[in-house]
Amino acid sequence: MTKKELIAKLNDLEWEDFEVKEAKAAVPKSCWETVSAFSNTSGGWLVFGIKETGKSYEIQGVTNAEKVEQDFLNTLRGEKFNVFVATRQQRYSIDGKTVLAFYIPVSAQKPVYYNTQSNTFIRRSSSDQKARKNEIDAFYRDQTFGTKTSELAPNTSREDIDATSLKQYRDYMARFNPDVSYNRFDEATFLTKLRILDNNQLTYAGLLFLGKRDAIEKHFPDFRIDLLEIAGNSIAETTSNYSFRLGEFENLWDYYFECFKRLKPEVDVAFQLTDQGFGQELSPGLKAIREALVNMLMHADYFAPSCSRIRVFTNHIEFYNPGGLPKPLEELKAKDLSLPRNPLITKLFRMVRLAENAGYGFDRIEANWKTYNNTVPEYDVSFDATILKLYTHTEEETTKTSDETKNNFGVTTEKLRRALLNQEVNKELIVSILNISFDEFLQYLETNFSKASEKLRSNFGETSEKLRRGSSKNIIQLLMLIISDGSISAEKASAVLEVSSRTVETYIAKLKELNIIKRQGSDKLGTWLIEKN
């Protein structure tokens, strides 16, 4: 730190990495809290010879600089702290007064405390705060970074693996990574080679990834991956905490697909064939979301009291992950280091090509998201958690889209989409939306899908009044559901339209026959599109 930077710091009221102490003639006792906090969090500068009064700072200097410096460094090298605290130091002369600055780096042996473990501190904004027990526990887990979920889960066995998940995982591997040797193994060898099972016990990784929920909850009582959909740009903008919340699923393998299914409508997708001839939906935006989701599941601290959480706001998606990073974010990004918290879980994702072979994926997330909508992901990294934000819309785009949709449908896309995707269908709300926007929807079809609109009228009723009657009305509303959610199932559509699933399937067959709609992708994972020509 240069003298110029030091002066600049004195003018900055938000100091996460900077703390001043008067220390005129001796080392102040309060500095040990700051040493602990900087060591446990992100490092920082501890400066002696500056007096803080309210929001102003006065350079007083240190009267016996050599003694103060030696007393401070000797204490750090002594037995006061549980580990050795390395420093680098600088001395400044400002207006004839001596100022001592010590840089305390983040420690690789956390928690760092003095005298007793209860004197463990962390840095929050510009203050040193005593660490809570769960935060201290997180430090000890970080000492076993990369090994904890590789340990054996007591009192588990092959019977605790969910049979459906295992079959789906093996089928997925055979489909998307057909050349890997694991496909040739029998079940017992397969489980052993991947260390899902070891010495007739499940590893924690195997249990979390493919285990039965009842077995997982014996070791992780609050096991879940939270996904919330929130109708607003922030919590402050909405009248309720969420419009949708993901339910409980068996294990991480199941949670991945359920989360991905909910996130997919947030981005535009393109349908492509793989080298093996399988259909898949790819776009830079979808790749970035998939990478962020898998990254979250691979690197979570599953022993932490909080759980991984995805919040889908109107203009951005937020991935929250308990557990800090093994190295500073910029170093991980610059070197593309592969230091997974859960290497076995990471390998299980890699073996089905849902994750790359190296690194944290930050560069791939950023490059794909930049290509998708020209925005840059945002990170909020603390010692015990990581938050990634992907902005789906700028404020201007959100307003424009909302206004355009109101003109076409009489209701915002966000409100309609959230309602349609809700597993617990609110029939009154959705039917109300469909009825209110019926005429606007017909106009929308005419403007954007003129050929489809022409075929609708020639086959189901020339006038709007005729289209409102009986099955014609249901077919129009089915098309509205398809535009709002191309992956909507016949079962969900039947709940909205209050007809049987078989009836909806009959409508779909008729619309396909008339070339009004077409299927893009597989029966299970594909979507419906309205033909433009």
Tell me the pLDDT tens digit for each residue of 207-232. 999 999 999 999 999 999 999 988 88
Structure tokens at 57: 């700072």
Query: φ, ψ for residue 421 (rounded to 5)?
Result: -85, -10
421: its two tokens: 């995707």
Sheet holding 378-382, edge to edge: 244-245, 226-229, 309-312, 316-322, 385-391, 378-382
Distance CA 368, CA 255 (A): 23
CATH code for the domain of 67: 3.30.950.30
Q: What is the mean pLDDT of residues 459-469?
A: 65
The predicted pLDDT at position 343 comes to 79
Do 185 and 310 fall within a single domain?
Answer: yes
Same domain, 126 and 165: no
Number of structural domains found in the chain: 3
Q: What is the pLDDT of residue 251?
A: 96
pLDDT for position 162? 96
Q: Does residue 111 have a cis peptide bond before it, meaning omega lies within 30 degrees of 0?
A: yes
Nearest to 228 by CA among 154, 317, 146, 161: 317
pLDDT, tens only, 367-395: 889 888 888 888 887 767 889 999 987 55
Residues 172 and 240 reside in one and the same domain: yes
The helix (H) or strand (E) run that includes residue 170 is: helix 163-176
Residue 198's CB is within 10 A of a number of other CB atoms, namely 17
Residue 148 lies in a domain: no
Question: In the listed set 335, 358, 391, which residue is the last one of a domain according to the structure?
Answer: 391
* CATH code for position 359: 3.30.565.60
pLDDT tens digit string along 33-72?
999 988 887 778 899 988 877 767 788 889 888 999 999 9
Range(s) of the domain holding residue 427: 404-530
69 falls within a domain: yes
Mean local confidence (pLDDT), 260-270: 79
Q: Please work out, in degrees rounded to the nearest 5, the angle formed at the alpha carbon of residue 202 by the alpha carbons of 197 and 207.
A: 115
Residues 6+ apart with CB under 8 A from 109: 83, 143
For residues 408 and 379, state if they share a domain.
no
Specify whether the CB–CB gap between 461 and 469 falls below 8 A: yes
For residues 249 and 292, the answer to whether their CB atoms sit within 8 Å is no
pLDDT in tens, 160-181: 999 999 999 999 999 989 988 8
b/e burial code for range 151-178 (CB count within 10 A of at least 16 → b): ebbeebeeebbbeebbeebbebbeebbe
302 and 251 inside one domain: yes
Q: Are residues 25 and 99 in the same domain?
A: yes
pLDDT at position 409: 45
State the amino acid at position 95 in one-letter form: D
Least-confidence region, from 68-82, 182-196, 453-467: 453-467
On whether residue 308 sits in a domain, the answer given is: yes
Lowest mean pLDDT among 100-109, 147-156, 241-250, 516-525: 516-525
Residue-level pLDDT at 276: 47
Mean pLDDT score, 14-27:
78
Q: How many whole angstroms separate alpha carbon 480 and alpha carbon 462?
A: 18
Q: Considering 342, 359, 391, which residue would you say is the last residue of a domain?
A: 391
164 and 79 part of one domain: no
Question: Do the domain assignments include residue 136?
Answer: no
**H or E segment and range at residue 454:** helix 450-460
Domain membership of residue 22 (yes or no) is: yes
Positive or negative: CA dihedral 36, 39, 44, 46? positive
**Does 249 share its domain with 380?**
yes
The residue from 368, 391, 414 where one domain ends is 391
Tell me which residue of 10, 71, 76 sits closest to 45, measured CA to CA. Answer: 10
127 and 162 belong to one structural domain? no
Phi/psi for 98 (5° steps) reads -90, 130
Asked if the structure places residue 399 within a domain, the reply is: no
The answer on 419 and 344 residing in a single domain is no
Apex 122 CA angle, 119 and 126, nearest 5: 125
Average pLDDT over residues 441-451: 68
Question: What span, in angstroms and rounded, lies between the C-alpha atoms of 346 and 149?
Answer: 11
Residue 212 lies in a domain: yes
Same domain (yes/no): 383, 486: no
Residue with tokens 């898949």: 280
Residues 167 and 298 in one domain: yes
Q: What is the mean pLDDT of the chain?
A: 79
Residue 142 lies in a domain: no
pLDDT at 416 over 70: no
